[in-house]
């Protein structure tokens, strides 16, 4: 134990959160090779506040943790003494179906919340890739994570309407409220969204909800080249369709563009027919069966837990530049002898996830730097979502972005 924690004992933490709710850390608690000394699990806002106040007074370096699915996102921590887990703060505090709002403790697992809301035919309109790995609502907010339905419903940042946070010195702060049209106070919810725990711990959050769609149809088109991918995506974007998601799955020189259309059954079917008509000029089209949709697997971009990719990048770009992103990525990988990258993402929004494998680390570093040089100049960003520690020591995770462009965390 380093000198920063010599004066702190496990008993000190247990005195705040209870004997069963604090322990010494082990190897599974490491973040990018940095092992903390302790893990503590407060069960209420009051305990969380007391714990943060104690850590601040003792000069402990703290990292909040929900399901741990995004712990490796970002640069390695310079130091880490205490992990504050929200695992015990997992309750639905209030759900008002008539107002389509819910208030939860942020340690609740996202999938558990969705199952609870489904009983009222409602949902939180995001489908983050980490959900299958046990991500918590607080972790999703802290990482501003989103998935395919971002195209229609926006990110979690667009759905949060109120928040309770505990600052590093233990101060409890609240903002927003329980109704959608609430402009009271500073918008701490949006400030804390995407902050990755650097500003404090999100204790509770309020969200606006959406009705669960009655029906869904997924139209797909087989794409033979990158030009067809860009043209097909733009055909959908400039149509009268209202898709919930426009996704690209690319590998080994060809791809599949899928368009998710949801709503009442007649409307979903009519939009599916229109989508097939619009896309038939770019390749073979079909409406996927439920089994085929399931075969695509849960949305797990490179760098997600269990994806197995060595280096995972997130490229944000103007949506009209889809073909350019594909060409620059495929070209950079080919020139440096990397395996054909696995590419998935939100073609309609302008976000692609790229998995780099094969070759050596020098080659993967070079590809990352080349893509950053191109896409930062063109109004985008390139973020390292996941990589070995040796790679992170050579490449700044967040990179830089052009003035006026979306931030890397968008």
Domains in the chain (CATH in brackets) are 11-212 (3.30.465.10), 215-295 (3.30.70.260), 311-392 (3.30.70.2740)
- Tell which residue, 332, 315, 299, has the closest CA to residue 385: 315
The whole-chain average pLDDT of the chain stands at: 91
Query: Rounded to a whole number, what is the distance in angstroms from the first to the last CA of the chain?
Result: 37
Q: How far apart are CA 125 and CA 171, in angstroms?
A: 31
pLDDT for the residue numbered 188? 86
pLDDT, one tens digit per residue, over 301-342 is 666 655 656 899 999 999 999 999 999 999 999 999 999 899
Contact 371, 362 (CB under 8 A): no
* CA-based R_g, the chain, Å: 22
Express each pLDDT in 125-146 by its tens digit.
999 888 878 899 999 999 999 8
Structure confidence at residue 71 (pLDDT): 87
What's the pLDDT score for residue 184?
Answer: 57
Report residue 251 CA to chain centroid gap. Answer: 22
The gap from C-alpha 273 to its chain's centroid, in whole angstroms, comes to: 31
Q: What 3-state DSSP class applies to 41? A: coil
3-state DSSP helix/strand/coil percent for the chain, to nearest 5?
35, 25, 40
- Of the CA atoms within 13 Å of residue 145, those in its CB half-sphere come to 26
Per-residue model confidence (pLDDT) at position 4: 45
- pLDDT at position 1 is 37
- For 112-126, give the secondary structure using H, E and C: HHHHHHHCCCEECCC
Give the CB-side neighbour count of residue 233, counting CA atoms within 13 A: 29
Q: Which residues pair with 258 in a beta bridge?
A: 220, 247
In the predicted model, residues of the chain with pLDDT beneath 50 are 1-4
């Amino acid at each position: 134990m380093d000198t920063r924690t010599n004066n702190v004992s496990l008993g000190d933490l247990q005195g705040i959160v209870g004997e069963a709710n604090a322990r010494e850390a082990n190897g599974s608690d490491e973040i990018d090779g940095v092992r903390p000394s302790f893990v503590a699990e407060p069960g209420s806002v009051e305990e969380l506040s007391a714990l943060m106040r104690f850590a601040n007074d003792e000069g402990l370096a703290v990292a909040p943790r929900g399901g741990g699915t995004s712990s490796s996102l970002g640069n390695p921590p310079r130091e880490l003494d205490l992990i504050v887990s929200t695992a015990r703060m997992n309750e639905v505090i209030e759900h008002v179906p008539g107002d389509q709002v819910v208030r939860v403790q942020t340690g609740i697992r996202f999938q558990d919340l969705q199952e609870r809301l489904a009983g009222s035919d409602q949902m939180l309109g995001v489908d983050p890739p980490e959900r299958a790995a046990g991500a918590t609502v607080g972790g999703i907010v802290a990482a501003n994570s989103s998935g395919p339905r971002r195209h229609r419903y926006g990110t979690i940042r667009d759905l949060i309407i109120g928040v309770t946070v505990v600052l590093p010195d233990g101060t409890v702060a609240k903002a927003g409220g329980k109704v959608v049209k609430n402009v009271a106070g500073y918008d701490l919810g949006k400030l804390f969204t995407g902050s990755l725990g650097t500003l404090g711990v999100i204790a509770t959050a309020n969200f606006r909800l959406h009705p669960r769609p009655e029906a869904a149809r997924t139209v797909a088109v087989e794409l033979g080249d990158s030009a067809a991918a860009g043209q097909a995506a733009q055909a959908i974007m400039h149509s009268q369709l209202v898709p919930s998601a426009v996704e690209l799955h690319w590998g080994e020189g060809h791809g599949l563009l899928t368009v998710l259309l949801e709503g009442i059954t007649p409307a979903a079917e009519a939009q599916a027919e229109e989508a097939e008509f619009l896309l038939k000029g770019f390749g073979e089209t079909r409406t996927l069966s439920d089994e085929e949709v399931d075969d695509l697997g849960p949305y797990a971009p490179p760098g997600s837990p269990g994806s197995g990719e060595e280096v995972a990048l997130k490229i944000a770009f103007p949506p009209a530049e889809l073909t350019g992103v594909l060409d620059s990525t495929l070209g950079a990988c080919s020139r440096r002898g990397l395996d054909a990258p696995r590419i998935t993402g939100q073609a309609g929004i302008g976000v692609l996830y790229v998995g780099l494998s094969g070759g050596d680390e020098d080659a993967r570093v070079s590809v990352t730097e080349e893509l950053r040089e191109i896409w930062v100049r063109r109004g985008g960003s390139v973020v390292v979502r996941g990589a070995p520690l040796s790679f992170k020591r050579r490449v700044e995770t967040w990179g830089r972005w052009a003035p006026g462009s979306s931030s890397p965390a968008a």
